[in-house]
């Protein structure tokens, strides 16, 4: 189970990993906390008054297309996008938005899905949200609390049988070492790198490297990831930043998607190359049918 804040997050964070596991027969569920109703239109080709007026419906349609491309199941948690406050001082968050939702109420909603789906692995954002968007930070908080509620037998018995998720991960794909590698491969091939300015203001931090525990070889599915990203046409410019590094160079320079193992109830040996490492294979309906869920 991958828990995300907005439609399009599932396609920009861990999408190749999900596509890889789907191809291997894993059941994958994306839980999307909000509808992305307050998102801006970031693709100039889609920035029309009609699309602005219909952004909520457009983002749901884009999510439907992306989940079809990735081959995943998907559920809406049902909250309203908080927007990204800007300014100094920052304006207050809009009333009724996800970032202001009651933590236990939202976490209980997620716990019900966890108990129903019974994932072996849950992936979400770190305590900083991956980046400090209020919905991303709330997604982290709701996910971690939801895991606790789902595993607690006395908690909300009406939600169904308790379920202890064996392994929990944070997305860590946007780290400096990967960016350095992509920047270098662009220069080696005589191309202009989109990362020069970012790297000049990004000091090395050994603590970030220490968070990288798990490297999933997913380069064969980078194309699927990119197709899913393009499905979010209001959010992703097909001629923009996300596609500035040619696919073959990405596969060469950094062929993995990367994670931090933050909770494990099974034996774990680091580093890993499989989110399911250490989890006993689970028997399905017959002895020769085996499956995992994420």
6 belongs to an annotated ligand binding site: yes
Largest CA distance in the chain: 61
265 belongs to an annotated ligand binding site: no
CA angle 225, 99, 201 (to 5 degrees): 60
CA–CA separation, 28 and 10 (whole Å): 11
CA–CA separation, 184 and 198 (whole Å): 13
CA–CA separation, 268 and 54 (whole Å): 47
Structure-block tokens of residue 47: 């920035």
Structure-block tokens of residue 82: 């908080």
Contact 6, 43 (CB under 8 A): no
171 belongs to an annotated ligand binding site: no
Q: Annotated binding site for Zn(2+), which residues?
A: 6, 9, 136
Q: Annotated binding site, which residues?
A: 6, 9, 136
């Amino acid at each position: 189970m991958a828990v995300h804040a907005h439609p399009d997050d599932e396609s920009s964070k861990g999408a190749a990993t999900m596509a890889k596991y789907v191809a291997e027969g894993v059941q994958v569920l994306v839980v999307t906390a909000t509808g992305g109703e307050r998102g801006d239109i970031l693709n100039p080709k889609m920035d029309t008054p009609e699309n602005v007026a219909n952004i909520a419906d457009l983002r749901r349609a884009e999510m439907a297309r992306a989940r079809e491309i990735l081959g995943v199941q998907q559920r809406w948690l049902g909250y309203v996008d908080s927007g990204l406050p800007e300014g100094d001082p920052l304006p207050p968050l809009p009333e009724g938005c996800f970032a202001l939702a009651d933590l236990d109420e939202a976490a209980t909603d997620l716990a019900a899905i966890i108990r129903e789906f019974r994932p072996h692995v849950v992936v979400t954002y770190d305590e900083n949200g991956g980046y400090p968007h209020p919905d991303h930070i709330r997604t982290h908080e709701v996910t971690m609390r939801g895991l606790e509620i789902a595993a607690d037998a006395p908690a909300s018995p009406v939600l169904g049988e308790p379920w202890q998720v064996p392994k929990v991960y944070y997305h860590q794909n946007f780290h400096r070492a990967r960016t350095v590698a992509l920047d270098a491969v662009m220069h080696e091939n005589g191309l202009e790198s989109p990362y020069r300015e970012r790297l000049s203001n990004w000091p090395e931090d050994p603590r970030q490297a220490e968070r990288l525990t798990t490297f999933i070889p997913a380069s064969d599915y980078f194309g699927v990831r990119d197709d899913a990203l393009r499905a979010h046409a209001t959010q992703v410019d097909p001629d923009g930043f996300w596609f500035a590094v040619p696919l073959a160079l990405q596969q060469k320079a950094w062929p993995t998607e990367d994670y931090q193992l933050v909770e494990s109830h099974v034996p774990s040996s680091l580093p890993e190359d499989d989110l399911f490492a250490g989890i006993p294979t689970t028997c399905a309906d017959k002895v020769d049918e085996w499956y995992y869920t994420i």
